[in-house]
Amino acid sequence: MLDTHARKYVQPSIDKTASFFLKRGRTADQITVIALFVGLSTSVFYVLGYPFLGVIMLWLSGFLDAVDGTMARHTKTSPFGTVMDITFDRVVEIAMIVAIAFVHPEFTFPLLLLSVSIIVSMTIFLVVGAVSEKAGIKSFYYQAGVAERTEGFLLFSIMLLFPDYLFWSTLLFFVIESFTGIQRFMEAKKILK
């Protein structure tokens, strides 16, 4: 929801950063790989006991994730770049869930539920994008929802920074992600008939 409606407020800084990298000969795929490693450092810092630094790296990786897409649209989008982008986003999320479960094994079950909700919601998102004839500014049809990347980052940040509320924040994330999956499924029923 925030990605869809608030992007216009941060897009100028994304554009400037994309232009900066393009002028220095960097490619969108290179920034995608950098965003992956920055995002993975979130989990490393969390396990090492530096959750605040981990959250900073999480948001930096998200910013770079937006920059690489802008770079691709200013040059030439590549189908493999899209595959890398979506796959690496999930790898970062999985790494965070595994890191949280490592530090707090008592919350493995709610984290498992969260993982399932992300898998189902993303499956719907990807299948609809693959079979839909609609197209947006991205290289596939982008289904908006209540839980998009920014909402996920907000909820992951709460989970990382406030371990006393980890059970409830994880369940909240699960509910929001599940609602988003249902929302996307119902939209798919309308647009794919």
The first and second tokens of residue 154, run together, are 């907000």
User: What average pLDDT does this structure show over 107-129?
Assistant: 92
Q: pLDDT tens digits for 146-184? A: 667 888 999 999 999 999 999 999 999 999 999 999 998
For range 26-30, the mean pLDDT: 93
Residue in the block written with tokens 């630094």: 53
Domains and CATH numbers, the chain: 2-191 (1.20.120.1760)
Residue pair 54/94 in contact (Cβ under 8 Å)? The answer is no
Query: Tokens 């409606």 correspond to what residue?
Result: 5
**pLDDT band for position 29 (cuts 50, 70, 90):** very high
Residue 135 has pLDDT above 90, yes or no: no
pLDDT tens for each residue of 74-103 = 887 788 988 899 999 999 999 999 999 999
